[in-house]
Structure 1
Amino acid sequence: MSEKVPAVATASQSMECARLREFKGFLSDLVRESVNNAASAGEPTRISISRSSNETYPVRSQEVPAEIIMSVWNHLQLKQCPRFFQLPILRIVAAEVEEGCRNAKECEFNASGKQDQNKPKTATDTDIVYDLVKLQKYVVNNLEKLLTRLTDNTEAGNLQNYAEKDALCADGSKCTCHIAVSPLPTAYTVGHIKNKPRKMEDRHVCLERFSDLYELKQPYSFYGVFDGHSGPLAASYATSQLPYLLAESLKTTTDELDDVKSYREAFEHSFLQTDKMFTQKGISSGTTAVCMLLAQRKPPSFDGHLYVAWVGDSKALLVSPTVSLQLVKPHKPDAPDERKRIEMAESGGTVMYVQGQWRVNGILNVSRSIGDYSVTPAIAEPDFVDVSLTAAHDFIVLGTDGLFDHVSEAKLVDTIYKILADAEQKIENIPKILIELAKEGDSQDNITVVIVFLKRRLDIVENFKSA
């Protein structure tokens, strides 16, 4: 006899908000998944986050909010939680976790000298240190508990309280939200592969709802690609901390989109602070970073502003049908300005040719990075560029050197336009095809590519045809 799945939806669905029906369907799917797991394995499947001891890091109190936000957000995306319920759920879980983890010993980092085990914990205690993996497990468990509570039939009448403000229709007869729950235009697509190395050390972050996530007034989206080395920890750390620090900095800047100095300073602070906090951990890991903040006007206008900051040799290509603009000048040790800076560093630095590449102190093949505390001439001060966007601009390609060093920019652009023009091809196929081109070009490295679209697919194709 099959086990009955509890119903979440209520009566008179035809009159209720389509977004609310979508959320109820999402919860019903969670119940069905739980029942199926219980039937096949004898017990519900739990989310497992497991890494070896050298693939975690201590998280200090001031770093906790950023880690919580990113853990909850990533899990909601994984679960495909409906868009208009994601942020309220995140806020609830984040508040519960921040309150609860102060007394959750299972999250603490067990290392001598990190904290006084006999010292009482208080809300203002800044000496408590948490283990990243244990903290992530604690966060996910709290999120799962909340979602499980919401699948209970007794909560059916309260589900509207978990939607964003003004997201639901008050009167079903006036409901037009069926338009909003239809597929949104694809804002970006991502591809990544470990390739030949033993480990995948690249990381990326794509926050289409950056402003909503961090409660900013201006409409921003944020995208970043991080090419880690000596392990993935610096790259993983940067994906959580750097967007949070950038948002905190932007909250103190002007609201004017053309105040370039404020954006430059915000990026510099977030890069340098991320580097400072990570290097204090004494972990021998580092990462390049190319980060993009997109300040977009309201539709249907295509204009806006693009702010890009970077350290290292990952790149960002701004594309229109007639011109492709590489926004990044890579930080390489043999570049004359970088070599001069390294050799004049107070700590003393040299540029040496080792294993077929120019390296800082014979070790690092980029001259700027986040982390790498033992290679002091390698700094985390980013370069910065801003671009006013127009209707001519179609998309931006962010990628690691595993891509850009093995596929020409002209080939990248031509391939993307051809795929977009082919109605049989899905947008999600683009990164896979670019990765295959890089492998054909003898790329041995980890490969990550993020493509951010500045307009709808049909508009891009039309723009290309009319150029």
Structure 2
Amino acid sequence: MSDSNSATSGTGAPEEPVPLVGSISLIGRRSSMEDEISVWPNLCSPYINKHRPIDFFAVYDGHGGPHVAGLCRSRMYLILLEELMMTRTIISGSTSNNDNISRQRRKQLEWERVKEVWKRVLKSCFERIDEMAFVTCYECGIGVPCGCPPQNYGLGGSTAVLAILTDKTIIVANCGDSRAVLCRGRRAIPLSIDHKPDRPEERARIEACGGHVDFDDCARVLGILATSRAIGDKYLKKYIISEPEFTFTKREAEDECLILASDGLWNVISNEEACQVARECLQKEKPSGRGDVFSSPSRAAAALLTRLAMGRGSEDNISVIVVDLKIDYIEV
């Protein structure tokens, strides 16, 4: 489990305040652990966000071994940093000085340009990590020549759901069947749609490529993989793509928390149930005594959700991140 509510520089001086986050990742009833989580509050202050800080959170659910999920955890945020550093696109175009365009329209055009830049940056991140996964060894988990047979490379894969928080927006990029859900008021708002092979548009895409979807315990691509998009899976790449889908959600005063989790949670707990559990935890005051088990309500929410999933009979690894949006930034 992890919990973050402040940041300091190398000299111990306070840096930008960060959101309160709770996370937990459990092996559950599986014989091995293939999930990974990534929590980077105050990752950077990029040009695209007018040099204001952004927070980065992600859940990766591996299959065919832990190596691709591990690769995503260790490299995705660094690739994002590189892409953002290379992005110096001028957001405000020539229309900003056109008196014939209303202020509201200019803001809308600017926002559309910002969204396109974010999509381009994140799509490049997924493409680059996908290429790295192709040369990752199934046995060693490394992407350099290791002496293993060529057929050991590119066998594993991983889902990836990423959330980037700015002061005004929640940006989600999703590839696979991990999920992001926003708790707003008493509503549960999905910020990603699972890439399942029986999703009509996903099945049509797979069949158009000459593949097929088999139904046994669940829908599977070629009877093998239960997700229609993923990073890696070189042997299925004709049908399994790594292209993410995006959502951009304006933050509102009613926003309570953001939940990111692998399907080990979502297979047994609905969006509404997850939000209800998290909401009840977040309504409690933050504990401060030494005897407290959890240092924050968001941490308690993540732990309770995983425990509930286990009680419901989840047979997969379970990874959960809960970001408290009500208190947003903690003053340090």
State the TM-score bracket (shorter-chain normalisation): 0.7 to 0.9
| C-alpha distance 255-401 of structure 1, shift in aligned 2 (>3 A) | farther
Q: Which residue of 2 aligns with 1:360?
A: 221
Retained in 2: the 8 A contact 1:420–1:457? Answer: no
Q: Check if 1:245 corresponds to 2:169.
A: no
Bigger CA drift: 235-244 or 421-430? 421-430
Structure 1 distance, partners of 2:88, 2:202, is 30
Shift of 1:322: 3.2
Structure 1 distance, partners of 2:268, 2:243, is 27
Q: Check if 1:410 corresponds to 2:244.
A: no
Which has the greater radius of gyration?
1
Structure with higher strand content:
2
Amino acid at match of 1:278: A
Structure 1 distance, partners of 2:162, 2:232, is 16
| C-alpha distance 406-255 of structure 1, shift in aligned 2 (>3 A) | farther
| C-alpha distance 352-240 of structure 1, shift in aligned 2 (>3 A) | same
Deviations 1:271-318 (A, max 9, x none): 11110121133231100010011112xxxxxxx111110111111011
Retained in 2: the 8 A contact 1:185–1:456? Answer: no
Q: Secondary structure at the match of 1:313?
A: coil
Structure 1 distance, partners of 2:116, 2:328, is 33
Q: Check if 1:279 corresponds to 2:140.
A: no
Q: Which residue of 2 aligns with 1:374?
A: 235
Q: Secondary structure at the match of 1:418?
A: helix
Structure 1 distance, partners of 2:307, 2:41, is 26
Retained in 1: the 8 A contact 2:282–2:324? Answer: no
Structure 1 distance, partners of 2:186, 2:54, is 26
Shift of 1:440: 1.7
Retained in 2: the 8 A contact 1:319–1:395? Answer: yes
Retained in 1: the 8 A contact 2:19–2:41? Answer: no
Q: What is the TM-score of this pair, normalised by structure 2? A: 0.77
Q: Which residue of 2 aligns with 1:209?
A: 42
Amino acid at match of 1:250: L
Shift of 1:263: 0.4
Retained in 2: the 8 A contact 1:218–1:255? Answer: no
Structure 1 distance, partners of 2:88, 2:121, is 8
| C-alpha distance 186-263 of structure 1, shift in aligned 2 (>3 A) | closer
Q: Which residue of 2 aligns with 1:309?
A: 173
Structure 1 distance, partners of 2:302, 2:135, is 36
Deviations 1:76-131 (A, max 9, x none): x99x9x94334xxxxxxxxxxxxxxxxxxxxxxxxxxxxxxxxxxxxxxxxxxxxx
Shift of 1:438: 0.8
Q: Which residue of 2 aligns with 1:190?
A: 23
Q: Check if 1:422 corresponds to 2:284.
A: yes
Deviations 1:120-173 (A, max 9, x none): xxxxxxxxxxxxxxxxxxxxxxxxxxxxxxxxxxxxxxxxxxx28xx4xxxxxx
Retained in 2: the 8 A contact 1:312–1:366? Answer: yes
Structure 2 distance, partners of 1:457, 1:441, is 31
Structure 1 distance, partners of 2:166, 2:211, is 39
| C-alpha distance 322-429 of structure 1, shift in aligned 2 (>3 A) | closer
Structure 2 distance, partners of 1:235, 1:448, is 12
Q: Secondary structure at the match of 2:321?
A: strand
The correspondence for 2:64, drawn from 221, 230, 234, is 230
Amino acid at match of 1:263: W
Shift of 1:255: 6.7
Structure 2 distance, partners of 1:411, 1:343, is 35
Shift of 1:439: 1.3
Q: Which residue of 1 aligns with 2:203?
A: 339
Retained in 2: the 8 A contact 1:228–1:234? Answer: yes
Matches within 5 A, 1:72-91: 83-86=7-10
Q: Which residue of 2 aligns with 1:440?
A: 311
Retained in 2: the 8 A contact 1:396–1:452? Answer: yes
Q: Which residue of 1 aligns with 2:150?
A: none
The correspondence for 2:165, drawn from 294, 304, 313, is 294
Shift of 1:186: 5.3
Matches within 5 A, 1:382-393: 382-393=244-255
Structure 2 distance, partners of 1:375, 1:253, is 36
Q: Which residue of 2 aligns with 1:327?
A: 191
Retained in 2: the 8 A contact 1:318–1:326? Answer: yes
| C-alpha distance 239-360 of structure 1, shift in aligned 2 (>3 A) | same
Structure with higher helix content:
1
Structure 2, unmatched stretches of 5+, are 92-109, 137-152, 288-293
Structure 2 distance, partners of 1:421, 1:306, is 22
Amino acid at match of 1:330: D
Q: Secondary structure at the match of 1:455?
A: coil
Matches within 5 A, 1:84-163: 84-86=8-10, 163=11
Aligned length: 279
